[in-house]
Amino acid sequence: MTIYICGDSTAASYKPEEAPITGWGQVLSEYLPSVRVENRAMGGRSTKSFLSEGRLQRIETEIQPGDLLLIQFTHNDTSDLVWRHTDPWTSFYQNLQIFIDTAMLNRARPVLMTPICRRYWRDGKLLESHGEYPDVIRVLAAQRNVPLIDLYEQSKAYVRQLGEEESKKLYLYVAPGIYPAYPNGNADDTHTQRKGAETYAWMTAEALKGMGLV
């Protein structure tokens, strides 16, 4: 079995010189050592741009019966840029159907995933960060009887449990002068470093195991 990952920068793989940024898809194989993982997630992509660039079509030439197609978008679908933006209940919903249909037509298993939460705190409370998009994913999973990994709810609960300061260790908070890629440091509430990537990869692996998909 091969697991193909379709997604954005939060799942993508990065070069060593780009450290410490790490996507959960980059480390998923560490929690599923008996499964081949093909991480096709790419930074800056929405459902719209991933499709328009032919990335799903390339996966379709390789995917085999019994493989898994993990589908996780939202961060860039919310963008105002025309070439990225989708509307939650129309174009986003329709594009996700294309991913599902592509897997099913090739007798592979589609798995829908909600996005990891953004670490947006205000007055000691973790804010919602993705509008209606996670709801669209949940509704579509139920309508199409497709397995769902609700990573948004899981990540949100975990970040809330850790608290405002401790949860920085999951995300791309870097002090100046440590990493060449971030000489002036960094404070990023969307992307993860190794600890966050490991956390969300573990959640994904456990969900796949729990549903009997691996």
Sequential pLDDT tens for the chain (214 residues): 999 999 999 999 999 999 999 999 999 999 999 999 999 999 999 999 999 999 999 999 999 999 999 999 999 999 999 999 999 999 999 999 999 999 999 999 999 999 999 999 999 999 999 999 999 999 999 999 999 999 999 999 999 999 999 999 999 999 999 999 999 999 999 999 999 999 999 999 999 999 999 9
Cα–Cα distance between 122 and 136 in angstroms, integer?
26
pLDDT of residue 47: 98
What are the Cα distances from residue 162, in Å, to 156, 157, 210?
10, 9, 24
pLDDT of residue 180: 96
Choose among 152, 130, 144: nearest CA to 96.
Answer: 144
pLDDT of residue 155: 98
Domain residue spans of the chain: 2-210
Confidence (pTM): 0.97
- The letter for the amino acid at 209 is K
- CATH architecture of the domain with range 2-210: 3-Layer(aba) Sandwich (3.40)
pLDDT of residue 210: 98
